[in-house]
Every structure is written in structure tokens, then in C-alpha cells.
Amino acid sequence: MDLKGLFGGKERTFRPKKKFEPGTLRYQLHKKAMASLNSGLDLKAVVSLPAEEDLNDWLAVHVVDFFNRINLIYGTICEYCTDESCPIMSGGSKYEYMWCDGDKFKKPTALPANKYITNLMEWVESLINNEKVFPVNVDVPFPKNFVTTCKNILKRLHRVFVHVYIHHFENLVAIGAEAHINTCYKHFYYFVKEFHLIDPKELEPLRDMTEKICR
């Protein structure tokens, strides 16, 4: 699933994101995960924790990878997601998401979708680049609340899928990206279900679509 090849130069819309340093354990885990994904194996099997691997390492690798991929996906349609076209961050008429990060936005705040997602991507990037939250060296332990942090990141990244699928799917179809986005979403969905990382109510906006493509 070569998203960069599919989407050409559009990834330059967003600055480069975190990568794992070659030679590190997490780089090896990342390569193993990508090799399994690209081999055409059942995605349900691909997400399972490899034998003798640490769950936190597996979570860290996937959170960073999903962040990069979802960031790239949004970058392909961001020119269509404007203050005028998407004045609220929503997933259809039933779901509206308010932004709160405890820093710039201390209270839940309504934002246009593009500004919500920009704040979201910057917030995630600050977390994954913080070595106290995502340690780089294997001899440095993960913080005790690491799983909770991953759950919060993945919950919010899922909202980007919701917005893009519901409000910009025709833009994805226009560039021939439907199959690639579906594969990325299925990988994400099976992963969060495998490790119970997202509350089922957060998955409701895409339930009908999920039932069709994630049988």
C-alpha cells in the first residue's frame, strides 16, 4: 500500500513526520509490521502482537504509523476542506467534535474541520516526539499512562477518518484512492479492536461502512 506513490507530491502539504531510527528495536518492529501488511496477509492476523514482543512497543510503532498515514490521507483532500465547506468538525449531522488540548484550548471549542485537524495533528506530533511519552531507547521505560495516551490519540485520529469518509469521500474517489484508504482504515479498525483501544460509541459514525468492508 504505497500511499506516497499514489498521492504523488501532495504529502508536501504537511511537514515530515516522525520516523524510527534504523537499528533500533522499534524500527525493526516497524519493518516487520510493514512487511506483514504489504504481503497481503489477513489484516486481522497482521495486527496481532508478535510472540515475545512488548505490547507498548507494538502500540508505539502503530500509533506513529497510523498518524503518518492518516496525516497523509488528509493531506490529499485538505484543499477541499475549508472554513466555508466544513465550518464545523463533524461526521454527518449527528456527530460534532469539539477541540480541547488543555493548553491552547482549555475548554471544548467548536472549530472548522481544517483547524480542528491541524490542531489535532500538531498535538499528536508533540506527543510522539516527546521522549518522555514515546521513549526512543529500549532501556527507557514507557510511562505508566502510555496505553491511555495511545487510546486518546487513536480516538482522535479516528475522527479524521470519520470526517474524510463522510464529507470528502467523493474527493478520494476522484483521485482513485478509495481502495487504499479502505485498506488503511481496515488496518486501523482491526488494530484498535484487537487491543480494545477505542470506545465502541466512537466507532458508530462509520458503523455501516465498517460492517461492509471489515467483515
pLDDT tens sequence across 99-148: 999 999 999 999 999 999 999 999 999 999 999 999 888 788 999 999 99
Which architecture does CATH list for 3-213? Answer: Up-down Bundle (1.20)
Classify residue 21 as left (phi > 0), alpha (psi -120 to 50) or beta. beta
pLDDT, residue 207, reads 94
Task: Please state, in angstroms and rounded to a whole number, the distance separating the CA atoms of residues 131 and 64.
Answer: 13
Task: Please state, in angstroms and rounded to a whole number, the distance separating the CA atoms of residues 110 and 54.
Answer: 38
pLDDT, residue 189, reads 96
pLDDT tens sequence across 23-44: 555 555 555 555 544 545 577 8
Binding site per annotation, positions for Zn(2+): 81, 86, 163, 168
Binding site per annotation, positions: 81, 86, 163, 168
pLDDT band (50, 70, 90) for residue 199: very high
pLDDT, residue 50, reads 85
Q: How many residues does the chain have?
A: 215
pLDDT band (50, 70, 90) for residue 16: very low
Task: Please state, in angstroms and rounded to a whole number, the distance separating the CA atoms of residues 149 and 128.
Answer: 10
In the chain, domain spans: 3-213
